[in-house]
Each structure stands twice: as structure tokens, then as C-alpha cells.
Structure 1
Amino acid sequence: MLKKFKNQKGFTLIEMMIVMLIISVLLIITIPNITKHNSNINEKGCQAFVKMVQAQVQAYEMEKKKMPTSVEDLVAADYLKEDAKGCPDGKTKVEIQADGKVVAVANTSE
């Protein structure tokens, strides 16, 4: 009966702990890098959203022959979705200036 257990192959506790150590080190290295790049990703997403809204302002102006006064005008005319009033990060909203330029401003309603 003891020979059956001695002939079976498997991982030892030390081998399993070494694998867990390697996985832990890899996680410790990668997680801070991911969180560091998160703000950069949000910034790029916001810049892309501002450019997209600027294009919609120009389309609205060409079709309606007037400048939209706010983002709500674009939403009402189906140029933007209802929930597309700010950047994807949720901390920044977009506004249309009098000259038709779209700018991102900090969301003060929170």
C-alpha cells in the first residue's frame, strides 16, 4: 500500500510555493503600471470625445444654419446620445462656447 503513494507523481509544497511567489511578483509589477496608465487613458478618451462633439457641432451648424448653444441642443436634435454630455471619466463635461468651439471643463455638479 505504501508503494502506491511513493510511485505517484505530483507537485511538492515547495514547488507550489515557488509558483505562487512568481505569480505574486508578476502581479506586484503589473498592477501599479496599469493604474498609472489609467489617468492617461481617461485623458485621451476625453480628448477624443471633445473632437467628436466638435464634429457634431459643425454638422449641426451646416444642417440647421445656426450654432448650437449647448450640448442639450445636440442631444435634442439627435446628434448626440442622451448620456453623452461629458467625458468618459465622469469628472469632466463639455461645453460649447459662443464661437462654436467645444471645451472640456471640470464637472462642478458633483
Structure 2
Amino acid sequence: MRLLKNQRGFTLIEMLIVMLIITVLIAIAIPNVSKQTSAVDTKGCKAFVQMVQGQVESYRMDEKAVPTMENLVTKGYLKTNETNCPNGDVVEISTDGIVSSKKPA
């Protein structure tokens, strides 16, 4: 039977140093991730507005009228859960068919 005298493990100090390094890396990474989340939401809203604008144009060609958001949902141009931007901004269609977004009141 072999004895385990020669096996070496990590000391408590080495483990604490590794934990400290990991903590510092996490503290640096988390703020950067949260900044990128807001940028993604903003770009996602712009893309959504452009997509709705395309659906408005399709509706105008099919129905010869400027739609409301309700018309787009009712006629199947948009899904019922797609009436606002991913970041919560309200999407509006003007009377001349221009789509825009704004912060909710």
C-alpha cells in the first residue's frame, strides 16, 4: 500500500490568491456587460421601428390606407406581442405612415 506523503495540493494562500484574481475579473466584466445591454436594446428598437415601417408599407400597398398598430396586428402583419420596442419604448405610426418610437409617458 502506497502512502500519500509526496502528493502536493494547493495551500490556503494560493487558493485565496486565485479567488482574489477571479473576483477582480468579475468586478471588471459586470459593468461592461450592463453597458452593452443598453446599447443592444437601443439598436434593437431602431431595427424594430424599421421592420414596422416595412409592414406599414406592405399594408399600404395591400389596403390602400395608412394603418394603425391595431390594424397591423388584426390583419396579421405583426404579432400581438410585437407592438412595442424590446426596451419598452412605444412605437407609433403617424397619419402619413411614418413609424417612430418614444419613451412611455
After TM superposition, the score normalised by the length of structure 2 is 0.91
**Does 79-88 or 11-20 show the bigger shift?**
11-20
Alignment of 1:97-108 (within 5 A): 97-108=94-105
After TM superposition, the score normalised by the length of structure 1 is 0.87
Alignment of 1:1-110 (within 5 A): 4-68=3-67, 70-90=68-88, 92-108=89-105
Distance 1:4 1:87 in 2: 66
Distance 2:33 2:44 in 1: 16
Unmatched tracts of structure 2, length 5 or more: none
1:54-106 residue CA offsets vs partner (Å, 9 max, x unmatched): 000001111112111x111100000000011100012x110100110001022
Query: What's the C-alpha RMSD, in Å, of the aligned pairs?
Result: 1.4
Which one-letter code corresponds to 1:98 in the other structure? Answer: T
1:17-45 residue CA offsets vs partner (Å, 9 max, x unmatched): 11111111110111111112222111101
Aligned residues: 104
Distance 1:105 1:21 in 2: 44
Unmatched tracts of structure 1, length 5 or more: none
| Percentage of pairs with the same residue | 52
Distance 1:33 1:4 in 2: 49
